[in-house]
Amino acid sequence: MYYVVTGAAGFIGSKIVEGLNFAGVRDIIAVDNLQQSDKVRNLARLEIADYLDQADFISRLDSFDGAVEAVLHEGACSDTMESDGRYMMENNYRYSKLLLDWCQDEEVPLLYASSASVYGAGPEFREERGCERPLNVYGYSKFLFDQVVRRTLPGKSAQIAGFRYFNVYGPNEAHKGRMASVAFHAYNQLVSQGKVKLFVGSGGYGDGEQRRDFVHVDDVVDVNLWFLERRHISGIYNCGTGRAQTFNELAAAVINTVQGTSFSPKELAARGLIEYIPFPAGLREKYQSFTEADLSRLRSAGYPGEFKTVEQGVAAYVGELQKP
């Protein structure tokens, strides 16, 4: 029996493949689109049984009847600035719906990536319809599929678990370019320019004091694998730390880890190591100045795991980025 991981060469998908390998699972069908070929580096050191292009996988779904243990669906267009709504809806919504229907017909568990973007500007981040106000077509594609899942859950034939990822960072994200995490960009700015650039204040917050729920990818993988082992639990759950921290704190964690110091953000700014820059035209109005996962449902489901703080997670990540 095979485990199918879609988006397997991507950021979170490749780390899930790694987590399955660590748990002794090798019978993995990795599904992705390698038009962006540098993603293959994320898979090169991992063990899989087969690789299929996304389009081939969809066309061959019926050939996998009775052969799949579970589907971990991480594949999506994650570019929140993507303006082609038809492409976004086909790739994120229609593709996911097809997989859901197949998994339900086959009685196969489906664990899938949703997104905190369904909440828009907030201010509340609970898994409830009244909190969901997506601001772009990416967020809408995730929101709409979540609604399909909600309608399916009462009569489900197998586990369906969706995870609303907050601001995920960590190894294997370099290929994401501008959509890579703030931690990734902060590290590279520090190395190339000798400082980290943050936005000036917005939404009532001071310079660099905007707050996000930054979650390390290893913690995201732990959540997925915990649910995979408990197939009686279904639903849609936030996947973040439940603890908003500032961009200043993240920048300080990067700088202090690289330089072996323990300066505060204020001290780092005074030393010119943090610089505050204006927002690009049109971005301030769409900017999320605060996100924080409400973990009540996740904890009620029984998930016991702890989540790394920015200081812990960024230090570990910078250590990985510094390896040759």
Q: Give the residue numbers annotated as catalytic, written as ranges.
A: 138, 176
Q: How many CB atoms lie within 10 A of CB 115?
A: 24
- The DSSP element (H or E) to which 162 belongs, if any, is strand 160-165
Burial of residue 101 (CB within 10 Å: 0-12, 13-18, 19+) is middle
Q: How far apart are CA 39 and CA 54, in angstroms?
A: 14
Count the helix, strand and coil residues of the chain and give each as a percent rounded to the nearest 5.
Answer: 45, 20, 35
Give the whole-angstrom CA distance, residue 122 versus residue 126. Answer: 9
Distance CA 16, CA 130 (A): 31
Contact between 160 and 234 under an 8 Å Cβ cutoff? The reply is yes
Q: Where are the beta strands (DSSP E) in 193-280?
A: 196-199, 211-212, 214-216, 235-239, 245-246, 274-277
Q: Which helix (H) or strand (E) holds 68?
A: strand 68-73
Asked if 68 and 104 count as a contact pair (C-beta separation under 8 A), the reply is no
- Whose structure tokens read 């081939």? 56
Whether residue 171 has a cis bond before it, omega within 30° of 0: no
Alpha helices for 83-204 (secondary structure H):
85-88, 95-106, 137-152, 182-193
Which pairs count as long-range contacts for 187-190, CB under 8 Å and 24+ apart, including other chains? Answer: 187/254, 187/258, 187/317, 187/318, 187/321, 190/254, 190/255, 190/258, 190/273
Separation in Å, CA 56 to CA 34, 65, 239, 273: 12, 15, 30, 48
